[in-house]
């Protein structure tokens, strides 16, 4: 028998997730607030439902909506998924929502006798489509165990980091780490370049070493060219630093280098680079180093 899986939200991320499930042979029922947006998945074999409540017979339902309020809206109320949770065991939320909304959703699910796995995704819809996404999940082990085989068919890995809302914090930690990495890369690239090294060759070398990551290799052409076309804006990076450092304040964890990076991100936004790519950190560093401005 094919698994009976539901999907609430068929925007770019939801559609990418749904396609991976259909490709794996999973039986999929989908719903979206704007019904026309379910059409690509229906063309691939999914069944469209009229209300979230209609998915309550599925054993697992994925949620991929765009905001905190949308998450609560699809779960709660007379037409919500949790109204009559007939057969539903676990809700897997892949949306990017606040910890408060996630905790509220977890409580609503618990009240209905349903499990809740917070599973934000590392990777954009193109990464998900390529099967390269990585999920960071938090939920009690038994609930994660229900979701894990499906997460493993969507992406290449799913790691459970805790019982509750830890996955949201871990996603922020990931983005703090990314921001510091970009600033460190900006500093050493400026030093190598001012010392006479070829910028592109330097980045190519760094990408080949043990400290090289896919991110460094993927962004080397843009950084070599000084291209600030946004992939992730400086302003969005600041939002994650605001949230991540607030979480660190709450947990009483000092963040020396992340805190300084926060202010350097602020300096890039102060110079008017908020809507440019987060490689703006290099633009500011290059200017402070007396190098020709990138781009």
State in angstroms the smallest separation of the CB of 275 from a second copy.
22
As a whole number of angstroms, the distance between CA 228 and CA 97 comes to: 27
Contact status, residue 58 vs residue 82, Cβ threshold 8 Å? no
DSSP 291: P
Collect all residues with Cβ–Cβ distance below 8 Å to 252 and sequence separation of at least 6: none
As a whole number of angstroms, the distance between CA 90 and CA 73 comes to: 17
With respect to a second copy, which residue has the nearer C-beta, 42 or 236? 236
Q: How far is CA 256 from the centre of its chain?
A: 25
State in angstroms the smallest separation of the CB of 132 from a second copy.
9
With respect to a second copy, which residue has the nearer C-beta, 41 or 258? 258
Contact status, residue 234 vs residue 242, Cβ threshold 8 Å? no
With respect to a second copy, which residue has the nearer C-beta, 10 or 285? 285
With respect to a second copy, which residue has the nearer C-beta, 176 or 228? 176
State in angstroms the smallest separation of the CB of 194 from a second copy.
4
Would you call 6 helix, strand, or coil by DSSP? Answer: strand
State in angstroms the smallest separation of the CB of 276 from a second copy.
20
Contact status, residue 271 vs residue 282, Cβ threshold 8 Å? no
State in angstroms the smallest separation of the CB of 109 from a second copy.
19
With respect to a second copy, which residue has the nearer C-beta, 115 or 244? 244
């Amino acid at each position: 028998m094919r698994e009976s899986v539901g999907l609430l939200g068929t925007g770019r991320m939801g559609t990418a997730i749904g396609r991976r499930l259909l490709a794996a042979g999973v039986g999929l029922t989908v719903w979206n607030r704007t019904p026309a947006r379910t059409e690509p998945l229906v063309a691939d074999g999914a069944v469209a439902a009229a209300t979230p409540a209609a998915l309550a017979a599925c054993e697992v339902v994925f949620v991929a909506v765009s905001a905190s309020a949308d998450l609560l809206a699809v779960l709660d109320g007379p037409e919500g998924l949790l109204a009559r949770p007939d057969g539903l065991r676990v809700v897997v939320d892949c949306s990017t929502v606040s910890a408060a909304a996630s905790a509220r959703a977890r409580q609503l699910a618990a009240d209905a006798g349903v499990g809740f796995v917070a599973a934000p995704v590392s990777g954009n819809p193109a990464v998900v489509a390529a099967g390269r996404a990585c999920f960071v999940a938090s939920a009690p082990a038994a609930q994660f165990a229900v979701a894990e085989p499906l997460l493993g068919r969507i992406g290449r890995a799913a790691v459970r980091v805790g019982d509750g809302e830890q996955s949201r914090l871990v996603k922020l930690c990931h983005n703090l780490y990314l921001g510091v990495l970009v600033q460190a890369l900006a500093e050493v690239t400026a030093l190598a370049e001012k010392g006479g090294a070829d910028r592109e060759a330097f980045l190519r070398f760094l990408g080949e070493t043990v400290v090289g990551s896919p991110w460094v290799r993927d962004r080397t052409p843009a950084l070599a060219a000084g291209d600030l076309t946004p992939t992730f804006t400086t302003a969005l990076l600041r939002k994650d630093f605001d949230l991540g450092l607030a979480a660190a304040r709450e947990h009483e964890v000092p963040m020396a280098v992340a805190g300084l990076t926060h202010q350097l991100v602020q300096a890039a936004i102060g110079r008017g680079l908020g809507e440019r790519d987060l490689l703006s950190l290099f633009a500011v560093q290059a200017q402070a180093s007396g190098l020709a401005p990138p781009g």
